[in-house]
Amino acid sequence: MKTALYPGSFDPVTYGHLDIIKRASLMFDKVIVAVMCNSAKTPLFTLDERVKMLEESVKDLDNVIIESFDGLLINYCKEKNIHIVIRGLRAITDFEYELQIAQTNKELSHNEVDTVFLTTNLKYSYLSSSVVKEIASYNGDITPCVPPSIADKLYKKFGYTRT
């Protein structure tokens, strides 16, 4: 059985992430989406909130499960016996950072962990969790960026009520 791990902060999950998850779910027998709790930045949503938002967003995908982890990604992969990590690429700026992380993980894992890159769907190439939070913080329209229930939670975080 081919299992792949898709790690990230998902603060919050966007349509860009969901597109990657759906496509990965067609390529692998099982996809574990792993929410990182050791993010360098202070997240807007708690780990529990981020996990719950993902669970709700992927409930129709039978072979996708949501988990969370702390510490080094390669240790988590070893613990779960996973050899494939998925990451999304939006632009050349993602590539430089992602390549370095992928090579680090390959080295640290003694070639046990490889990274598979999925390129963004063009309609979501501008999307990032940071951009979505920025728009929501000014009460802007985030309906093209995240599912409705997540948009509600974002507006609530910034003190807005929308109908």
Question: Which residues participate in catalysis according to the annotation?
Answer: 17, 41, 90, 129
Among 4, 10, 109, 146, binds ligand ADP (CB under 6 A): 10
Q: 4, 5, 12, 16: which one contacts ligand ADP (CB under 6 A)?
A: 16
Q: Per rule CB under 6 A, is residue 129 in the interface with ligand ADP?
A: yes
By beta-carbon proximity to ligand ADP, the closer residue of 122 and 161 is 122
Report in angstroms how near the CB of residue 28 gets to ligand ADP at its nearest: 16
> Of 23-31, 72-80, 121-129, 134-142, which part binds ligand ADP (CB under 6 A)?
121-129
Alpha-carbon distance of 142 to 153, in angstroms, equals: 11
* 76 touching ligand ADP, by CB under 6 A: no
CA dihedral over 99, 10, 35, 66, signed as positive or negative: negative
The crossing angle, in degrees rounded to 10, of helices 47-57 and 148-157 is 160
Q: Does 146 bind ligand ADP (CB under 6 A)?
A: no
Least distance (Å) from ligand ADP to the CB of residue 2?
19
Instruction: Map residues 29-68 to x or -, x wherever contact with ligand ADP holds by CB under 6 A.
Output: ----------------------------------------
- Give the closest residue to 63 by CA, choosing from 114, 105, 29: 29
Task: Report if residue 12 touches ligand ADP, rule: CB under 6 A.
Answer: no
Q: Which of 4, 12, 88, 113 binds ligand ADP (CB under 6 A)?
A: 88
Q: Which of 3, 68, 104, 120 binds ligand ADP (CB under 6 A)?
A: 120
Among left, alpha and beta (phi > 0; psi -120 to 50; other), residue 101 is alpha
